[in-house]
Amino acid sequence: MKGVSGWFTLKGKSVNSIAYSFHRLTGIVLLLYLIAHLSFLTSLRIGEETYTAFISITVRPETLPLDSLLFLATFYHAFNGLRVVLNEFGLLYEARKVLIYLMTLLALLFWLYSTYMMYVFLTG
């Protein structure tokens, strides 16, 4: 058996596997984010000052690229997940490759817009 490396082996594979690998990768990123997010929220139990100190580390212009990448991972995972759900219900199976391109395009558009909105929010 090839093991987990089989999820990320792209040599000789089609766009389906690229989408699949990115879906796994963004899923792992979102899981890590969820752990960090819940840790931040849990810090409220220690006190509001601790929570504010934590938040001040991440909500600043220098961390915008990281926030932007997180949004990219989120939108990609969401839109590609929608495609997988559709296909797994037996819908639009024949158009699965077109759907990959369409969903990736939608994810990129949402990502660019959200990054712009975050930039405006942080820079005023």
Partner 1 sequence: MEREVLFRIRRFDGEKEYWQDFRFTARKGMTVLEGLYFIKENLDGSLAFRASCRMGICGSCAVKINGKPRLACETQIFDVGDVLEIEPLDNMPVLKDLIVDMDGFFRKHEAVKPYLIRKDDDYENPKELLQTPKELHAYYDFSLCIKCGACYSACPASATRSDYLGPAAITAAYRFCADSRDEGREDRLALVSGSEGVWRCHFNAECSEVCPKSIEPAKAIQKMRLMSAIHMIKSIFR
Residues binding partner 1 (CB under 8 A): 1-7, 9, 11-14, 16-17, 20, 84, 87-90, 93, 96
| Residue 26 identity (one-letter amino acid) | T
Q: CA–CA separation, 83 vs 98, rounded Å?
A: 10
We find the least distance from the C-beta atom of residue 54 to partner 1, in angstroms, to be: 35
We find the least distance from the C-beta atom of residue 96 to partner 1, in angstroms, to be: 6
Helices (DSSP H) in the chain: which residue ranges? Answer: 5-8, 15-42, 48-58, 64-88, 96-123
Q: Which two tokens stand for residue 67?
A: 């926030």
We find the least distance from the C-beta atom of residue 2 to partner 1, in angstroms, to be: 4
We find the least distance from the C-beta atom of residue 83 to partner 1, in angstroms, to be: 9
Phi and psi at 58, nearest 5°, equal -100, -30
| Residue 107 identity (one-letter amino acid) | A
